Each structure stands twice: as structure tokens, then as C-alpha cells.
């Protein structure tokens, strides 16, 4: 259970970090109000009793979703190629975090198939931790150059690279496989 809780805490931390430091919405407040007005004005009178329910459902619809927040966090160009060193496939990383977080939050059997497990799950935790560490170092004033030097010395970074290398089959694992 510990790894699942660590994963969920890291996903939450990344989401909150983004919301506090890069906070923006899908639409401006004015655009969002107009959208809601159009939606509510289009509700036929006989369904007006559902307005409160709909207001509740739409109240968070202007916030970015986890996937959008992660996309912004890994897209920052100022850090150079540092993210690419331990996030080889950023799109896959984002999707795996999203599906794995949804699975461990809702325990939906359909999501279980898409969630990371085993070594992949451990790698995901380490990658998320590295991402947070990088942003926290930036927050306290380190330059991207210094962050790169510090991160490359960290055991977590080295473990990420090791796990990434182990995801690729070795020659001995390929022998006997019909390609």
C-alpha cells in the first residue's frame, strides 16, 4: 500500500504545485461566465429542477485537468534537455500518471488495464519525485545549470536511468523470440 500512497501524494503535489505557480484556467472568468449563461439559458423550463445539479457539475469545468497540468510542467523549455533524460516519452509518462492516478483513486477495473504496475509503477514514482525536486530547486533560486548538476548526482536520477534502461529488452532476453 505504501507505494500507492506515495504515488497519489506525488500526483497531488504536482497538481497543486502547478495550480499555485502556473495558475490559469481553460477560459477567462468572463468567457466562462458567458459559457455558463448560454448553457443555463438553453435549459428548457421543464428541466429547470436540474439546474442546481448542473451548476455543481460545471463548477470545476474551468479548471485544468491533471493531464493538462502535467503537459505544462514537462513542456518548460528553459531547463534544456534535463526532463528528456529521465522522461524519455513525455506523452506516455503523462498518460500513465493520469490513468494510474485515476485507477488508484477510483479502483475502476477498466482503468486497471491502463495503470502502471511493477517496475513501470516504481519508475513513474521516481520520475514524479524528480520532477517535483527540480521545480522545488528552481523555486528556491537555483539556476537551471545548477539544478542539472545537482539532479544528475542524485540517487533518484540514477535509479530512473537504470529503470529506463531495464525496460528495454537485453540481447539475452531477445534470444529465442521470433521477430
Quote the pLDDT of residue 143.
93
Quote the pLDDT of residue 78.
67
Quote the pLDDT of residue 173.
38
- Domain boundary assignment for the chain: 2-23+65-170, 29-58
Q: Give every residue of the chain whose pLDDT is below 70, as ranges.
A: 1, 77-80, 168-179
Quote the pLDDT of residue 177.
35
Quote the pLDDT of residue 48.
84
Quote the pLDDT of residue 46.
86
pTM: 0.82
Quote the pLDDT of residue 171.
46
Give residue 8's Cα distance to chain centre. 11
Cell 522545488 belongs to 136
Amino acid at each position: 500500500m505504501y507505494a500507492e500512497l506515495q504515488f497519489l501524494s506525488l500526483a497531488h503535489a504536482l497538481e497543486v504545485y502547478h495550480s499555485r505557480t502556473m495558475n490559469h484556467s481553460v477560459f477567462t472568468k468572463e468567457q466562462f461566465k458567458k459559457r455558463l449563461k448560454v448553457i443555463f439559458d438553453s435549459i428548457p423550463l421543464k428541466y429547470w429542477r436540474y439546474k442546481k445539479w448542473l451548476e455543481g457539475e460545471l463548477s470545476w469545468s474551468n479548471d485544468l485537468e491533471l493531464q493538462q497540468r502535467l503537459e505544462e510542467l514537462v513542456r518548460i523549455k528553459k531547463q534544456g534537455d534535463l526532463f528528456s533524460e529521465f522522461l524519455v516519452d513525455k506523452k506516455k509518462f503523462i498518460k500513465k500518471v493520469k490513468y494510474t492516478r485515476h485507477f488508484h483513486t477510483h479502483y475502476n477495473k477498466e482503468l486497471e488495464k491502463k495503470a502502471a504496475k511493477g517496475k513501470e509503477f516504481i519508475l513513474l514514482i521516481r520520475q514524479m519525485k524528480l520532477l517535483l525536486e527540480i521545480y522545488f530547486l528552481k523555486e528556491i533560486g537555483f539556476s537551471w545549470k545548477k539544478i542539472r548538476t545537482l539532479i544528475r548526482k542524485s540517487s533518484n536520477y540514477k535509479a530512473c536511468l537504470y529503470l529506463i534502461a531495464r525496460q528495454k529488452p537485453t540481447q539475452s532476453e531477445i534470444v529465442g523470440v521470433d521477430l
